[in-house]
Structure 1
């Protein structure tokens, strides 16, 4: 049976009406596993790209679409095990905990999913962007009796990953993956500005009902001795109120 090739010029090109939306299990079992063990792929639809050589906006394919790539992991140092995640303009930073991917039939873990966010600049002073990447890798759960075959398989498992890259749409109420709230500094400034203003709430009995009226520092308001006030003020302002009430 012929396998169709949907990769052209290093990017995925599907016919109109077709969408590539694989699940995590399908990416690991149908594509990455076949890549590592040199089995035929369901379709030539995921290109081989070294992600360290590209910024996310320069990767092959359309920016508005979710893109998938086979990528070989590159060591950061010649004599080390750390993975190089730096690109031309920034770096990928892992966030959260890795998620286990199990076989739907045998209920056995054979893969892991790591979430990374792209930061522009140099660590640790880079600033966060909306680019997100899910990295899928296989784990060693395959027993082999042939020692040479095991070493070859292990080297391929450690080499290849599938990367799912996309740009996340964010709003001011969204929360970042690493727990940092979007626009936290601006929210802190707004909070301080609001705390610096006095607001008085007077409850007056009118026709058997309590009606609340509010006034600020720029508004003129009168309150009777029978009305109760709820005041938000600083410590120095509360001392002035206590001093005036003593008279």
Structure 2
């Protein structure tokens, strides 16, 4: 009973704790100092291959220690009934006192292959990990898992995407979603992101296979946030127009457009041509869509290999 009471106190602390506290008070001591895992914490290396409906209590948040955390975990793992998909990519977690980077946080959602039309709640995972400093074990992460209403998820994402930082970017996170419209100022923001994304700031989920992958391998077309804003994918270099993937190929739609301002760079637009036109679900109806990627890169030669791709879809009339 004493163990239960101690765990309840830890769980209550974690539920109301800021991201910085979860990393500095729990994750870092366990990995760096070798402290024991909190009693009753689930240790599950196969978490990303399980249906949370069969593992967790929908009325009680769960905290899971994942070890090892492999590079393949996340978007591509799953089970017969569905899989976890990234809905908010890495956000930098910094110490308010020192300003040092403590780690990263991302948010994932479990997407059912067959979701009832009136399903109002979803399983959401907040994943915390450390930086690579001092050879810390990147494969150990803490996951907070909850069964949340859509309104709760929207509030969680709002907190994740926006901060009160006064940095040049207006926030201190690596964006997952793009912007709702294209203006000169917004195009500049993508370039500034590349400029400031050095070292640990450059996301760990960089992929150099953007133009070798089908769009549905990069994003979740069922995600309403994606429909509104698109998703940012970071890459080291670009593959160009000749690479092909299963089901189609990417081709340049609009060549380099010069962007000038505080930061100078270029914007290029690609379109995905499907071998066989597929239909996708949009507001409960099957429709045809057009996939595009807006690719941003700097004019500075030293950073030409870093590009930011914003993948979007539009509904065909």
Structure 2-normalised TM-score?
0.41
Which residue of 23, 27, 36 corresponds with 2:22?
Answer: 27
Q: CA deviation at 1:111?
A: 0.6
Q: 134, 138, 153: which one pairs with 1:158?
A: 138
Q: Partners of 2:120 and 2:110 in 1: how far apart?
A: 6
More divergent stretch after superposition (18-27 vs 108-117): 18-27
Aligned CA RMSD, in angstroms, stands at 3.9
More strand by share: 2
How far apart are residue 98 of structure 1 and its match? Answer: 1.6
Indicate how the Cα distance of structure 1 residues 39 and 74 shifts in structure 2: closer, same or farther if over 3 A, else same.
Answer: closer
Contact 2:81 2:112 in 1 (8 A): yes
Q: Which has the higher contact order (CA 8 A, sep 6+)?
A: 1
Aligned counterpart for 1:185 among listed residues 283, 294, 300: 283
Q: Which of 64, 68, 72 is equivalent to 1:82?
A: 72
Q: Alpha-carbon deviations, 1:29-85, whole Å to 9, x = none? A: 11111221243359535331231343112224x31122111112454xxxxx43363
Most deviating of 36-45 and 46-55: 36-45
Q: Secondary structure at the match of 2:53?
A: helix
Shift of 1:23: 2.1
Q: Give the counterpart of 1:14 among 8, 30, 36.
A: 8
Query: Unaligned regions of 5+ residues in structure 1, if any?
Result: 76-80, 143-149, 189-247
Distance 1:71 1:43, change over 3 A: closer
Structure 2: 5+ residue stretches without partners: 158-222, 229-280, 287-317
Moved over 4 A (4+): 174-177
Determine if contact 2:49/2:79 at 8 Å carries over to the other structure: yes
Pairs within 5 Å for 1:95-244 = 95-121=87-113, 130-142=122-134, 150=135, 153=136, 157-170=137-150, 178-180=225-227, 185=283
Distance (Å, rounded) in 2 between the aligned partners of 1:66 and 1:138: 22
Report the counterpart of residue 52 of structure 2 in structure 1.
56
User: Is the 8 Å Cα contact of residues 118 and 128 (structure 1) preserved in structure 2?
Assistant: no
Change (3 A) 1:13 1:55: farther
Aligned length: 156
2:42 partner SS: coil
Q: Which has the larger radius of gyration?
A: 1
- How far did 1:120 drift? 1.7
> After superposition, what is the alpha-carbon deviation per residue over 1:72-103, rounded to whole angstroms, capped at 9, x for unaligned?
2454xxxxx43363235211111233211012
What SS does the corresponding residue of 1:93 show, helix, strand or coil? strand
Q: Which of 37, 40, 64 is 2:35 aligned to?
A: 40
